[in-house]
């Protein structure tokens, strides 16, 4: 009874996650019903809000970009058995790295020369912000969940201090840096499409989306096709076995967290270099936390993560439409759905296993 | 001189007000973690309770009804946590995060749908709140030098939930260290197999710990919206649950040191409010953000083992599997 139930692979990868998400959506639908609105109508409005016109699609993919980065960040850490709750702070500090690079060089270099430097800035700052908790976990035994939570708050205080006291544009009330020179902005999707003669409405979607897709491919190759990825998965499965295989778990934990933070930091490329074009407070807007839901839903695989990010991008953009169409529900409904997805795809991930196992046992009697 | 003394007293008074929800939530975390269940969900339970209490008090006009509803909702979430990570052996951290996110979303969605004030609940009248009580002779004692103002400003003049929070600490100590339940609770957090062998239900013990934690978080949340403030506003807890978690770790999972950690963190917060924008001699404008970040920095330093060692209950975080056949 207590043995984990063994299910066929297609059930484990396909049926169970689908059931979990359906459960999350069903509970969310019940909430909408309880508030006196029609969940099917809400879904309809959200889908229209996310895909109904080309500007909406742009917004949806712009949100998707952030979720891919934070989802990959959480997933990489999960593979080493680490729970990185600090994506929010790492993205925040990564954005600081991007901002510092561009503020220093934006008059001198065009965007394509700045981009690699800004990415190094994001990776360095985000990476360090995660590597410190990683080091503390590996060498001092400090619980990574707690330290990454603490680092989120420290990041938030640090950014408020820097923007209010140091980096604020002189003669301005709101705590923001000066705007970057326009030559340093990442190309927007509508500009890129205009080059090839296609007219697309203006939206925040920018080149970062392509970077996010490339990052997904690279992470997939890294995790399943390199010795470092093998080391990460081995440490995640069984630290003792890793030691016998000649892998140093401590070093692996440290570098996995650094990599995780680097990926989270890339949110700064999309937000700061791509959309806001200045440093400001709270530009991470919870994307780091959504990364947890994305990774859980995508089962820590880049393909799953891209799909889950697209779903959350749809929810975020489509959710905004709820405000206009309904009396009783607002875009905050999306946070509720996100919470139920973390609950059912994460904490209650195995709830349906015994049920499905019994069903399968009945439908497909033992095959020898 | 007298002015400085009064300023210190007022800061201590503010410290106590800020520390109250931390104390209650930290004790909640202590019960849960001592039983072997990590409780990241303190924040969400508090937030949900704050909303439930303010909404109920606004509708019924009774603070006590609010308290009852706050506690009930918080216990409900605690049971959900138990269902996920005791019954279904799900990941305790993920379950806690889920509770926090669900609470953050539902409190806003329900608040907007029910009260149409952008997520706020209606402002409560004094009769629907836990108001301040002057202790006996507070005014008469004021004229006594030194002790008089201390009694009148710091000790007297709080609402009943503040005194309740202060009473919860010795009670927690007594339950954890001096009762049979406490002994079993500590044992189940260190070595659940031994408790199981003795014929005591691990599941039962952990669920009771979570119900206690839910009750305490419920009081903490109720305090925020019906005693400290007069309404619920979105994201009202603003990280207090995580700070309580930090205080519990800082207090090394022990009631009395945890109380002092809460008071220290509350003091830093009160100082940050007081020093906001104040020009100090020599230093100039003090970076209050440093004070705000200090509880978290101190906790990380402690966890790193640089100032003493914080050791969590041994079985904390691992679901108990009765037997493998």
- CA B214 from chain centre, in angstroms, equals 10
Residue B320 lies in a domain: no
Size of interface A-B (CB pairs under 8 A): 154
Give me the domain span that covers residue B200: 2-303
Kindly state whether A355 is in contact with chain B, defined as any CB-CB distance less than 8 angstroms. no
Is A336 within the bounds of a domain? no
Q: Can you give the residue range of the structural domain that contains A285?
A: 38-325
CATH number of the domain encompassing residue B244: 1.10.3470
pLDDT, position A368: 43
In a domain, A55, yes or no: yes
Check if the beta carbon of residue B188 is closer than 8 Å to that of residue B14.
Answer: no
Domain for residue B262, yes or no? yes
Whether the predicted pLDDT of B285 surpasses 80: no
- Of A279, A353, A263, A329, the C-alpha closest to A76 is A263
Domain assignment present for residue A261? The answer is yes
Using the Cβ of A335 and the Cβ atoms of chain B, whether some distance falls under 8 Å is answered with: yes
Inform me whether the C-beta atom of residue A145 falls under 8 Å from chain B C-beta atoms: yes
Per-residue pLDDT of chain A (368 residues; tens, 9 = 90+): 344 567 788 888 888 888 998 999 999 999 999 998 899 999 999 999 999 999 999 999 999 999 999 999 999 999 999 999 999 999 999 999 999 999 999 989 999 999 999 999 999 999 999 999 999 999 988 889 999 999 999 999 999 999 998 898 888 888 999 999 999 999 999 999 998 888 888 899 999 999 999 999 999 999 999 999 999 999 999 999 999 999 999 999 999 999 999 999 999 999 999 999 999 999 998 999 999 999 998 989 999 999 999 999 999 999 888 888 888 888 899 999 999 999 999 888 888 888 888 888 888 765 54
What is the least distance, in Å, from the CA of A15 to any CA of chain B?
A: 19
Q: How confident is the model at residue B325 (pLDDT cuts 50, 70, 90)?
A: very low
CB contact under 8 A, B245 and A146: yes
Q: Beta-strand (E) ranges in chain B? A: 132-133, 158-159, 279-280, 284-285
Residue A201 · residue A190 · CB < 8 Å: yes
- Output the CA–CA distances (angstroms, integers) from residue A342 to A191, A337, B92, B96, in the order listed: 37, 9, 12, 10
Longest dimension (CA), chain B: 74
Tell me if chain B has a CB within 8 Å of the CB of A118: no
Q: Is B88 in contact with A351 (Cβ distance < 8 A)?
A: yes
A339–B106 C-beta distance less than 8 A: yes
Residue B311 inside a domain? The answer is no
Mutate which: A83, A339, A345, A355, vs B, most B CBs within 10 A: A339
pLDDT at residue B145, rounded to an integer: 79
| A335 to B90: CB separation less than 8 angstroms, yes or no | no
A contacts of B322 (beta carbons < 8 Å): 2
- Mean pLDDT value across residues B6-32: 93
The CATH number of whichever domain residue A200 belongs to comes to: 1.10.3470
Flag whether A222 is in a domain: yes
Domain-embedded: residue B279: yes
Which pLDDT score is estimated for A1? 38
Q: Who among B90, B100, B110 is closest to A349 (CB)? A: B90
User: Please, what is the average pLDDT of chain B?
Assistant: 90
Please indicate whether, in this complex, the C-beta atoms of A145 and B38 are within 8 angstroms of each other.
Answer: yes
* Residue A3 pLDDT: 47
- Cβ pair A332:B93 closer than 8 A: no
Please count the structural domains in chain A: 1
Using a CB–CB cutoff of 8 Å, tell me whether A338 touches chain B. Answer: yes
Residues of chain B found within 8 Å of residue A347, distances taken between Cβ atoms: 84-85, 88, 90-91, 94-95, 98
pLDDT at residue number B136:
79
Which pLDDT tens digit goes with each residue over B223-281?
A: 999 999 999 998 899 889 999 999 999 898 999 999 999 999 999 988 888 887 777 77
Mean pLDDT confidence for B108-118: 90
Domain-located, residue B235: yes
Q: Are A150 and B300 in contact (CB under 8 A)?
A: yes
pLDDT band at B158 (very low <50, low <70, confident <90, very high): confident
**Cβ contact B11:B154 at 8 Å:** no
Residue A358 belongs to a domain = no
Cβ pair B98:A160 closer than 8 A: no
Number of domains observed in the structure of chain B: 1
More confident residue, A363 or B88: B88
Is B323 domain-assigned?
Answer: no
Report, as an integer, the average pLDDT of B77-98: 92
* Residue A340 to chain B, least CA–CA distance (Å): 7
- B301 CA to chain A: closest CA distance, Å? 9
Find tokens 């949900």 and name the residue.
B48
Q: Do A347 and B98 touch (CB under 8 A)?
A: yes
The verdict on residue B312 lying in a domain is no
B204 inside domain: yes
């Amino acid at each position: 009874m207590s043995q984990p139930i063994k299910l066929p692979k297609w059930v484990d990868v396909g049926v169970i996650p689908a059931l979990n998400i359906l459960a999350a959506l069903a509970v969310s639908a019940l909430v909408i019903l309880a508030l006196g609105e029609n969940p099917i109508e809400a879904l309809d409005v959200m889908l229209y809000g996310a895909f109904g016109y080309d500007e909406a699609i742009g917004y949806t993919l712009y949100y998707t970009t952030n979720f891919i980065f934070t989802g990959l960040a959480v997933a990489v850490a999960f593979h080493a058995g680490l729970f990185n709750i600090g994506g929010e702070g790492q993205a925040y500090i990564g954005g600081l790295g991007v901002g510092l690079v561009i503020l220093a060089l934006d008059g001198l270099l065009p965007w394509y020369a700045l981009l690699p430097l800004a990415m190094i800035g994001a990776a360095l700052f985000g990476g360090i912000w995660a590597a410190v908790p990683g080091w503390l976990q590996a060498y001092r035994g400090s619980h990574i969940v707690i330290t990454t939570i603490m680092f989120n708050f420290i990041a938030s205080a640090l950014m408020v201090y820097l923007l209010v006291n140091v980096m604020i544009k002189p003669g301005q009330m709101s705590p923001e840096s000066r705007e970057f020179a326009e030559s340093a902005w990442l190309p927007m999707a509508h500009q890129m499409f205009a080059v090839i003669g296609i007219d697309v409405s203006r939206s925040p979607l920018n080149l970062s989306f392509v970077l996010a897709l490339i990052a997904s491919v690279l992470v997939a190759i890294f995790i399943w096709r390199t010795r470092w990825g093998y080391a990460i998965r081995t440490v995640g499965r069984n630290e003792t076995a890793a030691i016998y295989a000649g892998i140093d778990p401590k070093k692996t934990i440290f570098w996995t967290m650094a990599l995780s933070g680097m990926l989270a930091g890339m949110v700064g490329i999309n937000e700061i270099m791509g959309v806001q074009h200045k440093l400001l407070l709270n530009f991470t807007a919870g994307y780091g936390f959504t990364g947890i839901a994305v990774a859980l839903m995508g089962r820590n695989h880049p393909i799953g993560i891209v799909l889950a990010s697209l779903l959350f991008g749809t929810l975020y953009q489509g959710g905004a439409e709820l405000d206009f169409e309904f009396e009783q529900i607002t875009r905050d409904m999306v946070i509720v759905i996100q919470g139920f997805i973390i609950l059912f795809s994460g904490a209650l991930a195995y709830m349906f296993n015994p049920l499905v196992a019994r069903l399968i046992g009945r439908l497909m009697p033992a095959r020898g | 001189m007298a002015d400085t003394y009064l300023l210190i007293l007022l800061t201590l008074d503010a410290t106590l007000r800020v520390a109250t929800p931390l104390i209650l939530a930290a004790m909640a975390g202590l019960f849960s973690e001592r039983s072997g269940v990590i409780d990241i969900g303190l924040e969400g339970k508090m937030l949900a309770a704050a909303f439930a209490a303010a909404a109920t008090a606004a509708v019924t006009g009774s603070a006590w009804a609010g308290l009852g509803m706050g506690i009930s909702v918080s216990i409900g979430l605690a049971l959900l946590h138990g269902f996920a990570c005791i019954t279904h052996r799900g990941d305790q951290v993920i379950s806690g995060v889920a509770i926090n996110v669900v609470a953050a979303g539902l409190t806003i969605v329900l608040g907007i749908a029910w009260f149409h004030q952008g997520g706020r609940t209606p402002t409560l009248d004094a009769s629907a709140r836990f108001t301040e009580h002057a202790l006996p002779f507070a005014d008469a004692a004021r004229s006594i030098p030194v002790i008089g103002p201390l009694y009148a400003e710091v000790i007297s003049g709080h609402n009943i939930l503040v005194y309740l929070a202060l009473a919860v600490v010795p009670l927690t100590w007594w339950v954890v260290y001096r009762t049979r339940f406490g002994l079993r609770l500590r044992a189940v957090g260190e070595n659940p197999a031994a408790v199981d062998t003795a014929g005591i239900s691990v599941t039962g013990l952990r669920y009771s710990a979570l119900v206690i934690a839910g009750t305490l978080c419920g009081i903490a949340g109720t305090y925020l919206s019906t005693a400290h403030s007069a309404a619920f506003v979105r994201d009202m807890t603003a990280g207090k649950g995580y700070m309580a978690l930090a205080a519990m770790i800082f207090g090394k999972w022990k009631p009395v040191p945890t109380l002092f950690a809460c008071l220290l963190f509350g003091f830093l917060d009160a100082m940050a409010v007081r020093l906001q924008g104040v020009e100090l001699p020599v230093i100039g404008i003090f970076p209050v953000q440093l004070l705000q970040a200090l509880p978290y920095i101190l906790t990380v330093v402690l966890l790193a083992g640089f100032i003493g060692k914080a050791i969590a209950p041994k079985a904390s975080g691992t679901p108990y599997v009765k037997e493998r056949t």
